[in-house]
Homo-oligomer: A and B are copies of this chain.
């Protein structure tokens, strides 16, 4: 039985609290949030002791593992302190909005045997995972093209946008990681964006949609299609094309009901609304893999290097938009010696 501490009692924090409470081998023992009432509400529902003190949590020898679901600006600090305290960490993406801060963080923790897993939960979505498994078994031969579609049902509130780091660091980052999940390192990034006439986003200098081209280290090409709005639900598709065929993750309907009328045939309902519905199972599977790695003393994956690499692609996309150029990215998104070596487990499908 793993005793898990949770930092952050907001929306995503609650998702993790529920996963922990529902896991056969885990128990939520600490809920830590600067807002005492928020921590208490989560503890009341999912178990554990509520509090506001980070040191108290990290100093508790009965805490076996830590989940960080607090706001992004707190990630580096909590992650560093957790690693120094010897706790395995599952940290929500992104590590930080600034690559330099990420590299300083790594320099700080590298010698403390960091066991850090990044919360790229989509890698654990059963559908995407199943496709990757089939691809790695050679079902479609050499991978040549990847297409990732990710459209949110509606834009986040302006306050969220202002602190988000922009569409690439906030939203596309999941797709950059998905590209790396299938293609391994990415070597080129090109991006176009549009505000689609959305004044609030334009005021923040942010985009409403993005289309990104990537080239993987093995030569495959990739498109990412993002939009902040989609009236027919949360549009989450993936298509892997190879010499021998194609595997596709279609969207998921809330039920298998099809309707027929004088106006239309074979009508399905709009798709599952958003990530809490669509990726519910992937949060569970992610936690399960984290705890297995903790139990077996493994470094969990995707790891710190994957978190850094996804952000490096986001920065490259920002630069591409600014310059109109395709931006070359070093392998692993590496900028210096402090970067951890790429985790083979998360590498390309070679």
Contact = CB atoms under 8 A, between A and B. Distances in A.
Interface residues of A, number: 68
B265 A209 contact: no
A271 B261 CA distance: 10
Contact of A250 (B230, B258, B326): B258
Given A231-B262, A256-B249, A194 B211 contact: no
Given A211-B221, A232-B260, A260-B247, A144 B194 contact: yes
Given A231-B244, A231-B245, 4 more contacts: A190-B213, A231-B261, A249-B257, A266-B267
A251 B245 contact: no
A26 interface: no
Contacts of A131: 257
A196 interface: yes
A147 interface: yes
Contact of A192 (B134, B147, B188): B188
Contacts of A247: 257-260
A127 interface: yes
Given A194-B220, A229-B243, A267 B270 contact: no
A211 B209 contact: no
A234 B236 CA distance: 24
A221 B192 contact: yes
A222 B245 CA distance: 24
Contact of A194 (B219, B252, B263): B219
Interface string A173-193: 000000000000000101011
Nearest to A326: B324
Contact of A223 (B127, B211, B268): B211
A215 interface: yes
A221 B227 CA distance: 11
A145 B207 CA distance: 14
Contact of A209 (B221, B231, B253, B326): B221
B221 A223 contact: no
B266 A266 contact: yes
A139 interface: yes
A60 to B, nearest CB: 28
A199 B79 CA distance: 49
A266 B245 CA distance: 11
Q: Max chain B CB contacts within 10 Å: which of A258, A260, A325?
A: A260
Contact of A268 (B194, B221, B255, B266): B266
A252 B262 contact: no
A35 B9 CA distance: 47
A197 interface: yes
A197 B219 contact: yes
A270 B264 contact: yes
